[in-house]
Structure 1
Amino acid sequence: MYEGCPVDLKMEKVVSIDAVFDEEVHCAKVYKYDMEEDFIRLLLEGENLSVISLDAKYECVIGTKTELLSCSGTVKERFQCEAGDMLIFKIENGFYTVSSDGK
């Protein structure tokens, strides 16, 4: 459904006491969206997997041809595969449309 769409992934808060808050926006691309399980497989672009924390909540903004969609969730897995650096992102509360001014 959103396969191939660009994604901006930004940390919202850390879950673990010893985790470091990351203010960077990380670029990825939707590899596969599983609507029934509320998972998105993301291909991380141009960065090392270790920059993505498994102990944090992230905002995921997907750019489609017609709109920007936002959701919150956590990265459950991160690994390398033939397709590239893969993130398994668990959506927590559905998608919201983001207005053109970013709010």
Structure 2
Amino acid sequence: MEAYSNKRFPELPHLSKDNLRNVRGIRNANAHAYTSAMIDRNHTTALASGLGTGREWETWLSDQWNGENNTKDHLRDEWNNDVGRQIGRYAEAHDLG
């Protein structure tokens, strides 16, 4: 499943799965929060949650299968996605761009 595909969200081409995997630190946190905020703001919280959680679990399971333990990164990404959804809800409630 490619939750952040260019076809689904053409306004976010720089946040493709491959690009997100290569972004580290604060840029990675911002990418997760921004993507979740935009999906939440422009669509629904349920969609933002489903896509974000689905992508994180797909990545975590794939990495586990390949012998990589990325549990901390997985949990951090889930946290950043949740922060983004909260920002998206706030932006929608206050009619922010």
Normalised by the length of structure 2, the TM-score is 0.28
Higher share in helix: 2
Higher strand share: 1
Q: Which has the higher contact order (CA 8 A, sep 6+)?
A: 2
